[in-house]
């Protein structure tokens, strides 16, 4: 009879793969993927539709036509570049909207459902290049299926708990993963490793789209100034690398991605 640990390890090894090619920045590793893309994409579509409906009911959806046009234009330039990392991504049902909110936030749900808060663009006075930094980063989360990976990790942990409690005669079963799904789809609280990976992929995406990757430095300097003296970092930044570390990591990548930007501008 397999022990609970062996059973979970067997399940984990069976579910390990990589969702993307490595690109110029070398973003490649094995990922634990126990939940299907189709299942999570369907959940994302429902969550995104509800988010839009709620915002629309409050008169907070797409209230700034000029900003919406800017954000959508940046997304349109970056989306074709996603083919470098995964061939199916340009064909996703991409959608880009903005919500009237002072919170410094943006996200891209599985399958390409993008949302920007107006406060992020206004408060930081973002240039198109800086919008591209954020856009590339958020799209990278979707390309690498970090949400799916996060839910899979929760599923594996809950499976282990369920097996253990059943073998010990404690009753019950694995907990529901709705909480993990919410965190992954809406709350945007990814691990620090996921954030660093998204920075690397995002910087390459924007460079290939013809946006100067040097904007990654100015964006995170602005973010540091905005959050360093105003009562702490927003929730969605709570698991991100520190802004100073982020700037250093981006500067280290510039020799790799700047030639891609220069080639795109020719």
Q: Which residues are catalytic?
A: 138
Sheet of 95-99, strand order: 95-99, 113-117, 106-109
CB 104 within 8 A of CB 120: yes
């Amino acid at each position: 009879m397999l022990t609970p640990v062996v059973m979970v390890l067997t399940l984990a090894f069976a579910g390990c793969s990589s969702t993307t090619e490595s690109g110029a920045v070398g973003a490649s590793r094995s990922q634990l993927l126990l939940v299907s893309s189709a299942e999570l994409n369907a959940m994302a579509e429902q969550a995104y539709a509800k988010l839009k409906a709620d915002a629309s009911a409050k008169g907070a959806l797409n209230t700034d036509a000029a900003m919406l046009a800017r954000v959508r234009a940046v997304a349109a330039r970056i989306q074709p570049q996603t083919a470098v990392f995964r061939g199916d991504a340009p064909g996703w049902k991409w959608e880009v909207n903005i919500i009237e909110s002072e919170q410094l936030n943006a996200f891209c749900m599985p399958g390409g459902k993008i949302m920007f808060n107006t406060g992020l663009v206004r408060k930081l006075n973002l240039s198109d290049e800086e919008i591209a930094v954020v856009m590339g980063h958020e799209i990278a989360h979707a390309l690498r299926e970090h949400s799916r990976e996060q839910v899979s990790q929760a599923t594996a942990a809950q499976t282990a708990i369920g097996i253990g409690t059943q073998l010990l005669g404690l009753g019950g079963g694995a907990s529901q993963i709705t909480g993990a799904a919410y965190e992954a789809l809406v709350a945007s609280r990814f691990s620090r490793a996921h954030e660093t990976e998204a920075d690397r992929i995002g910087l390459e995406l924007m460079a290939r789209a013809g946006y100067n990757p040097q904007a990654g430095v100015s964006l995170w300097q602005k973010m540091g100034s905005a959050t360093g003296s105003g009562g702490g970092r927003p929730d969605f930044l709570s698991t991100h690398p520190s802004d100073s570390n982020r700037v250093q990591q981006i500067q280290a990548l510039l020799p790799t991605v700047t030639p891609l930007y220069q080639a795109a501008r020719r």
